[in-house]
Structures are given as structure tokens and as C-alpha cells.
Structure 1
Amino acid sequence: MSLHADKATPYQPDTLPLEKLDYRLLFALVGEANAELARYDGLLQGIPNPAVMLSPLTTQEAVLSSKIEGTQATVDEVLEQEAGLEKEGEKYKDIQEISNYRSALYQASEHLKSYPIRLSFILDLHRILLSSVRGQGKTPGEFRKDQNWIGRAGCTMEQASFVPPSPLQLQDHLQAWQEYLDFDDSDFLLQVAVAHAQFELLHPFKDGNGRIGRLLIPLFLFQKKALSQPMFYLSEYLEANRDEYYQRLSNISKEGDWNGWIAFFLKAITVQAKQNSARVKAIMGLYDDMKQRIHEITRSQYSVYLLDALFSKPIFKTSDLASQLERDFGISKRTVPALLRQLKEAGVLLELTPGSGRKPAVLCFAELLNLAEGKEVF
């Protein structure tokens, strides 16, 4: 096992699969994490249209994974921006990064229905992730060709807290990492813990390593058939425990402490699976309640289509929603304003900005956003 004694020396990653793990320490944690993940996936399998119903959770994951890297935007702000309430300056750039993350997640989910995770696929995800003003100088869609290091801003390589592997050896390490993804290790949760950490330690990009690494967690679990949909989001726990997250990764390179990292990761899976399950149950409950309520309010044959549209885009321009309903379900645009007015008067929808002249109103389905962000709904 190669310990990272000299800070200025590039890290030599351990060979995968790992030979020495403390299975006595990890056995109970693996069992509990597997049980909670299976309960969560059971809920997922019961959702008729998970991509629609859990769309706000996907946005929340993009927000939190990006927040770990320093962005400051909220789910509401991302959706407001997309509904035409333009933000400016750094906030706009933050939202662009979050939107890119979500786009990468959606495209990855589609890709993995037919193909396994490959390095070329990860380069495509990186290109999507960094397709913005901030990412242009960070060689989007390319593995690094230079030596990089991690430390305080402006520090030299000798002052760095971590120096990833040499770019001369990076491609070989990445190839070995890809082969490990195809290997069936003793348990898929142990394996995803190892794969995530190894990717972060290889640090193959100039920027975006953390976000790509976290994005790969649900994709790997989906590929291994541990999930029926690639929709298990871990960033809430990792963001709440950011210091320990980084310290546990650091301890692998400094002390060879894989057991401590894996124990932390398995606890993250267990806690997050419980929280995700509770949130999915709440969202499914809201969907069922709203299916009945919207029909009672509108008495419309289109009430279910309207509900699906609200779940897929909880903040929207009235004109955009009308176009979406006409495009997807053939509902006349003239029908929609009256339906929305009824829902607004009943308190289901809130008006963020009123319409004036040709400018459409922007409305919000607040109850769903509150559930997605983990807020209590009163």
C-alpha cells in the first residue's frame, strides 16, 4: 500500500480491487446500507413516472453537489431563472453550473439504459458540466495533461495538501479504474465507495472532479442493478458533512485508511436512503392528494396532465406551460389560463410575478418545492 508521505510527490493509487479490508468492521454497515437502499428502490419501482415526479429532487441534487464546490444558488433560484426571472453576475454563473450538472445527470441516465460507464462517456459528461463561462478555460471534455495539486489558493506544489497522480500515468490509472467498474466486487456498495474515492484521488480533470465523481454514484448503482432508476442522490449528506467527507478521502492518501472512508460512505448511504425514502413518500402522497384536489377544483378531463406538468416544472411562465400542454397532450392553449386561474384562487399555485400586456405571469407550485428542499409544509 502506497502511503503519501512526501506531499510534493504525486500520489500512487492502490491497485483495485483492494486486498485488505476490515470486513468485521464493515459487515454490519454494509447490511444496514443495503437494506435501506432496497427499501428506497422499492419505492422507486412503485412510481409510475419517476423522472416527472422526482424532477425537483434531481434539481436539489444538482444544487447541493454544486454547493459543495462553492456555488450559492437555491432550487427556487434555478427554477426561477429557467422560468425567465433572470439573475445576474455570480448568481447567474452559479445557476448555469447547476443547470449543467442536471443536464449531465439526465443525459447520463438515458445513455446508461443502453451502454456501460466508459471513460469516453465521462468525458462527454465533463464537457456538458463545464459548458459555461467559468468552465471554458478548464479544458472541458479532456483529462488533464498537467500535474495539478490541492491546497490553499496560490500554494506551491511543495505546500499542497495533496498531489494527485502524474499526468504521465493518469491514463493507465483511469483504465484500471474503468476495469474495476466492470468487476463484481464482494458487495456493490463497498465497490461504489471504493470507485468514488479512487476517482477523486486520481483527480483526472482540471476542474469538476467532485461533481463528476458524485454524479457517477447513482449511475454506478444503476449499472449494477442495485437501483431500478439512476436516482439516488447522496450530496445532501456529503454537503452536511463536508469536512469529514474531505478528511476521510485525505486519510486514504495519507494513511491508507480505506476502512474509515468506506465506513463513512456506508453511513452516508444509510442515512441518505432513509431521508430520500421519506421525501419520496411525501412527494408520492402530495401527487395523490393533488390528483384528487386539482380534479375537484377544475372538473377538467386534463387535470392529470396539468398535475404532471406542475411536477416536472414547479416554477413556470403561464405561456410556457400552455405550450407544453399543447405540445405533449394536444390541449388547446385557450383552455389553460382558466385552469391556472382556478388553481391560483384555490391556493394551489402562487403568483411570483403578475402578467402584464404580452408578458406572461410566473407561477409557483410551492408545496412541491418545499418537500424537495426538505422544508416542513404547513
Structure 2
Amino acid sequence: MKGLDLSSALRLIVQANSALALFKGVLIGVPNPDVMLSPLAMQEAVLSSRIEGTQATVGDVFRYEAGEAPAQESRRNDVFEIINYRKALQVARAELETRPFTLNLLKRLHEILLDSVRGRNKARGQFRTVQNWIGGTGTTMEQAQFVPPEPARVPELLGNWESYYHHDEVDALVQLAIVHAQFEIIHPFLDGNGRLGRILVPLFLHEKGLLSSPVFYISTYLEEHRAAYIESLRQLDNSPESWIRWIEFFLGAIKVQAQRNTETAMAVMQLYATLKERVIECTRSQYAVPLLDQFFHRPVFTSTQIDLGPGGPTYARLSKMLLILREAGILQVIREGSGRRPQILSLHELVTMCEA
């Protein structure tokens, strides 16, 4: 953005970029990050959705995917929203392997986010053609806390936004702060704008080469500082001062969350290394490491969900290994098997790490 004096933010710019570079280095050193960091992607989906009011936990989602749905309908609906968030991020990641980010991809992600959940009847996958506003239930537009641009301006504004998204600014993190804020200001959809705006963060970082993969979990910080996050966005106007304040807030979020992400990724790697030794020692099996990878990919599971591919152990051998790991305290029982209902097991240490 032209005309901004970023001298007061220079220190934060350096610190945020340094913290992000360190995290990138750690990610490069993670063997099979798609497996090892999969639970943290779930944590991001949970926390991003929680900012929008959902109450489901990481454990709720893991248990649902293992066949144990929450008893409360509201909690089940929350789980669906979280699963949609994770799916949207996965689709975007695959798309960016072959082509740059586009507005068509943005609409596709919106369609996924709102599939069969709250907002599904609010022009899912389509940019808004009516006026919307932000406020409490029953709030009129005159009473609204924020009124986005009129719908007739949305196509032009999004075109400018997309052009700026792909522009090469001197500092990409400052650019990302502006990209994120502009998206929230345009508010191009009738619902789901907040979650989409947060998904854009790892996608942008990956596309700009600041991360080797779109793995950046910013929602922890934004959830903890929700009031400041929302207020910083709402105070944005044409004054340079409001944009400097927002950029400084966003850079601070990137800096702190990059440091946390580095610590968490290293903790996950350490847990994996420790469990690898224990699982090998307990099972004395050639399948020990592939089995552990399955646990990290799906920390709550039934034995029927374990797939070690062609040439894997027999079901009887697999059941024996799971029993050994349960007796060793590596796995915990969430639900005992009964009749046709299978036993549900959990890699408790990893689930606890994700809930923190």
C-alpha cells in the first residue's frame, strides 16, 4: 500500500520474518510432514471455527471420524464445520501445486466451507449480490458495527484485491497483512468470510515461497486476542495510522505464532521419535513404524481404519500389536468394543498436545 511510513514497524517486520524463516527450516526437517503435522492442521481448523462460535474440540472431531459422534446436535454441526475447513485447506493446497491462487478457487473453497452447515443457504460458492453487515442478532444496517461495500462494487474490488495478492511487494508479510484486511473489508460472501480470510494466510505464505508447504496455524493467536483482532480490523479507514496499527498487530501475530509453531513442530517430532523407539521395542515388528505413522495421521481410530497397504499384517497380528501397545500405555481405550461396534483407541499424548 503506497504512502505508508513503516519505519515504526521495521523491527517487527524483521522479527516476524526471522521467526517465520526459522519455522520454515523446522518444517523442511520434518520427515513426512503430511503425516506428522496432520493433527495440528486439525487444531487450526478447530480454532479458526471457534472464532466463529463453534464449541467442538479436537478430540470431538477425532472421535467423530472414528465413529463416535457427539451426543449434542449442535456439537455435531460444529464438527461438520471443522471438517469442511480442513477439507477446504486440503483442496487449496492441491490446487496450488499446479496453478496460482484465483478468485474461482476462492469461490470453490467457500462452497466447501459451507457444505451442509450454517450458511449453506447463503449463496454458497457465489460472491454476494446483496448488501450485508455485521452486528448482533436483529441489528439493522444503521446500527451495524461494520457495513461492507455495496454489492455492485464487489467484482471490481475483488479484481483489484486479486491483482494485489499476486503483486511482488518489498515485504511479503506486510503485503499479507493488507491482503487479509482487504479481504475482510470487502466481505465478498454472505457468510464464511472470517474462516476464508484465515485460510488465506498459509496459502499466501506457501505461494510466496515463505513456507515449503501451506502449514501455518495462526488461529491460536487470533483466538487468544479475538477482541484486539476484530477491533483492529474494524478501526481500519483511509488514515495511514489505522493501517500501521493493523499491520503491527498482524506482524506481531505472525511472529508469536511462528515461534509457537516452531516449538510445537519440534515437540511433535520429539514425541514421534520417542514413540518410535517404544513401539519398535514393544511390538518387535517390521510394521512398527508404518503403524506409528497411521497413529499420527489418525490419532483416534478403530482397528478397521488402520491400513498398512499390501503385504501388511493379518488382522489377528494387527489386533495383537494394538493390544500390546494398549497394555504398554501408548494407546488408550476411548470406547470398548461391543458386538458389531468396534473398539476405539487413542494416541493420547498426541491428542492432548493438540488440545493444548
For the pair 1:300 / 2:285, whether they are aligned, the reply is yes
TM normalised by structure 1 equals: 0.92
For the pair 1:325 / 2:292, whether they are aligned, the reply is no
Encode CA deviations 1:189-239: one digit per residue, 9 max, x unaligned.
001100000000000001000000000100001000000010011000000
**Offset at residue 254 of structure 1 (A):** 7.5
Letter in 1 for 2:28: Q
Does the Cα contact within 8 Å between 1:149 and 1:157 map onto a contact in 2?
yes
For the pair 1:362 / 2:347, whether they are aligned, the reply is no
Identity of aligned residues (%): 47
Does the Cα contact within 8 Å between 1:53 and 1:308 map onto a contact in 2?
yes
**Offset at residue 170 of structure 1 (A):** 0.3
Structure 2 counterpart of 1:341: 323
Letter in 2 for 1:315: V
- Residue 6 of structure 2: which of 23, 44, 47 is its match? 23
- Separation in 2, partners of 1:331, 1:338: 10
- Separation in 1, partners of 2:184, 2:84: 20
- Separation in 2, partners of 1:253, 1:150: 16
TM normalised by structure 2 equals: 0.97
**Offset at residue 57 of structure 1 (A):** 0.4
- Separation in 2, partners of 1:28, 1:44: 24
Letter in 2 for 1:148: N
Encode CA deviations 1:37-94: one digit per residue, 9 max, x unaligned.
0001100000121011001100000000000000000000011111111123101100
- Residue 98 of structure 1: which of 82, 94, 98 is its match? 82
- Separation in 2, partners of 1:254, 1:91: 41
Encode CA deviations 1:4-40: one digit per residue, 9 max, x unaligned.
xxxxxxxxxxxxxx11222211111000000000001
In structure 1, the gaps of 5 or more residues are 1-17
- Residue 148 of structure 1: which of 119, 123, 132 is its match? 132
Structure 2 counterpart of 1:263: 248
- Separation in 2, partners of 1:111, 1:325: 27
The alpha-carbon distance between structure 1 residues 184 and 254, as it changes in their structure 2 partners (threshold 3 A), is closer
**Offset at residue 137 of structure 1 (A):** 1.0
Structure 2 counterpart of 1:35: 18
Does the Cα contact within 8 Å between 2:81 and 2:117 map onto a contact in 1?
no
- Separation in 2, partners of 1:21, 1:239: 28
Letter in 2 for 1:134: R
- Residue 57 of structure 2: which of 57, 60, 74 is its match? 74
Letter in 1 for 2:153: Q
Does the Cα contact within 8 Å between 2:59 and 2:355 map onto a contact in 1?
no
Structure 2 counterpart of 1:284: 269
For the pair 1:247 / 2:247, whether they are aligned, the reply is no
Does the Cα contact within 8 Å between 2:301 and 2:345 map onto a contact in 1?
yes
- Separation in 2, partners of 1:233, 1:133: 23
Does the Cα contact within 8 Å between 1:40 and 1:277 map onto a contact in 2?
yes
Structure 2 counterpart of 1:193: 177
For the pair 1:274 / 2:259, whether they are aligned, the reply is yes
- Separation in 1, partners of 2:225, 2:150: 29
Give the 4+ runs in structure 1 shifted more than 4 A.
Answer: none
Aligned residues: 354
Letter in 2 for 1:360: P
> Aligned with 1:325: secondary structure?
coil
- Residue 37 of structure 2: which of 51, 54, 61 is its match? 54
Does the Cα contact within 8 Å between 2:202 and 2:216 map onto a contact in 1?
yes
Structure 2 counterpart of 1:210: 194
**Offset at residue 171 of structure 1 (A):** 0.4
Structure 2 counterpart of 1:179: 163
* Aligned CA-pair RMSD: 1.2
Letter in 1 for 2:6: Y
Letter in 1 for 2:355: E
- Separation in 2, partners of 1:225, 1:186: 14
Does the Cα contact within 8 Å between 2:57 and 2:355 map onto a contact in 1?
no
**Offset at residue 247 of structure 1 (A):** 0.5
**Offset at residue 139 of structure 1 (A):** 1.3
Letter in 1 for 2:61: V
